[in-house]
């Protein structure tokens, strides 16, 4: 999606009310929407503020914050948000990646499949649980296998839309590996569909990015055959 298209989509969406959008699955561009001053507060300051605000939410819902089981919940939620499930919002947590020369002269596709990830839907803040499959063809450099997992985890640990997550992972790999020959497939279950709304526990969502050589029928079939094994 180019900037012009993204801006048109953003404008069109902004002209709709929240009620008109409802549960529609929307996203406005490749970048995760962030305020310009997103990192004005330190992580500790954010945790302190989230704890206070979440305590207020619990109080509004009528929960007894003096109960031994609940009184530590605001702090636990704040810590979980900043240090764990939304840690991918902070660019300081981006994994450092080292590249190595392709000394094996392996020039076919490398596939890392079934990378488990947990993300959260940005529309309802409930989990997205899925698996990512990544493939690339070396342009002269290779990446450690565990780093592929870490890239998936980094981009998944933020409020997300699956289409954006797919493209963010693909663009990051294209940049790091200096190649267009990258493929990303994500198969995920959205709890905003299964645990609320239509409450369909059987459906799953699949998204794919095929770049360079992978954007051919032959390579797509070859990749799909690897994933079936």
Which of 16-20, 152-156, 196-200 is most confident?
152-156
Domains in the chain, CATH or no CATH each: 41-85 (1.10.286.10), 99-228 (3.30.1130.10)
**Tens digits of residue pLDDT in 111-133:** 999 999 999 999 999 999 999 99
Q: 162, 172, 176: which is closest to 207 by C-alpha?
A: 162
Active-site residue (options: 121, 133, 153, 160) = 121
Active-site residue (options: 55, 133, 160, 190) = 190
d(CA 224, CA 229): 9
| Predicted TM-score (pTM) of this structure | 0.86
Active-site residue (options: 25, 112, 122, 180) = 122
- Tell me, yes or no, if 122 is annotated catalytic: yes
**Tens digits of residue pLDDT in 60-118:** 999 999 999 999 999 999 999 999 999 999 999 999 999 999 999 999 999 999 999 99
Confidence check: pLDDT of 18 > 80 = no
- Tell me, yes or no, if 124 is annotated catalytic: yes
Contact (Cβ atoms closer than 8 angstroms) between residue 143 and residue 97: yes
| 145-156 and 162-177 helices, crossing angle to 10° | 140
Active-site residue (options: 55, 123, 133, 160) = 123
- Tell me, yes or no, if 190 is annotated catalytic: yes
Q: Would residue 171 be called left, alpha or beta, if left means φ above 0 and alpha means ψ between -120 and 50 degrees?
A: alpha
């Amino acid at each position: 999606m180019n900037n012009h298209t993204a801006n048109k989509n953003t404008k069109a969406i902004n002209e709709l009310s929240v009620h008109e959008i409802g549960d529609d699955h929307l996203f406005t561009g490749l970048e995760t929407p962030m305020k310009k001053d997103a990192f004005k507060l330190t992580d500790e300051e954010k945790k302190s503020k989230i704890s206070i605000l979440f305590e207020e939410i619990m109080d509004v819902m009528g929960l007894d914050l003096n109960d031994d089981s609940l009184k530590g919940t605001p702090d636990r939620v704040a810590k979980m948000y900043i240090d764990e499930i939304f840690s991918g919002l902070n660019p300081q947590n981006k994994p450092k990646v080292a590249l190595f020369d392709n000394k094996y002269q392996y020039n076919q596709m490398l596939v890392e499949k079934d990378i488990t990830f947990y993300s959260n839907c940005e529309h309802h803040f409930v989990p997205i649980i899925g698996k990512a499959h990544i493939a690339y063809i070396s342009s002269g450099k290779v990446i450690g296998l565990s780093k592929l997992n870490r890239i998936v985890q980094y981009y998944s640990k933020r409020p997300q839309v699956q289409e954006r997550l797919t493209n963010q992972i693909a663009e990051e790999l294209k940049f790091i590996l200096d190649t267009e020959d990258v493929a990303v497939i994500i198969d995920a279950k959205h709890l905003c569909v299964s645990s609320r709304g239509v409450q369909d526990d059987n459906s799953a969502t699949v998204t794919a990015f095929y770049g360079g050589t992978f954007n051919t029928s032959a390579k797509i079939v070859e990749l799909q055959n690897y994933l079936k094994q």
